[in-house]
Amino acid sequence: MDLKAVCALSVILVIALSTLAEGKILPTRCQCKLVPRERRNCGYPGISAAECRKAGCCFNASVPGIPWCFAPKTKKVRKVCSNDSHTRINCGFPGITSQDCERRGCCFRAHPAGVPWCFYRRVVEE
């Protein structure tokens, strides 16, 4: 690799690591859709939109008298049994029964051949 590519990759790596070090994940647009009376304050008086978002909060100054910088809704997740047989991660052992598999909290589908029949559930966001 030439020196320019190494420098560019280094800069990208430093930026990515500094973002991870802050530990704040920006909320999605959906998480910030709250009716004004449900907003929980996440900032201080006079906080800017940039500072609010940097703290991992939502910002909306359209309604006076209520918090403009507020905590996002928590993400809802659920565990599902994937229909994609190629993404299955083995949760059992050869010959495991469906009952033993389900007692482990896993999914059991005895088809197709060549893939795990007892496999972990996948976490999906709603």
Is 102 a domain residue?
Answer: yes
Identify the domain boundary among 41, 57, 74: 74
96 in the same domain as 114: yes
Same domain? For 108 and 120 the reply is yes
Which residue's structure tokens are 């009716």? 35
Residue 54 confidence (pLDDT): 93
Confidence of residue 41 (pLDDT cuts 50, 70, 90): very high
What is the per-residue pLDDT for 69? 95
50 domain-assigned: yes
Residues 6+ apart with CB under 8 A from 110: 98, 117
Is residue 31 a contact partner of residue 72, using CB atoms and an 8 Å limit?
yes
* C-alpha–C-alpha distance, residues 57 and 83, integer Å: 35
Give the global pTM.
0.49
pLDDT for 20 equals 40
Mean pLDDT within 70-79: 88
Domain of 45, in residue numbers: 24-74
Lowest mean pLDDT among 10-14, 79-83, 86-90, 118-122: 10-14
> 121: Cβ–Cβ under 8 A, 6 or more apart, which residues?
79, 80, 81, 82, 105, 106, 107
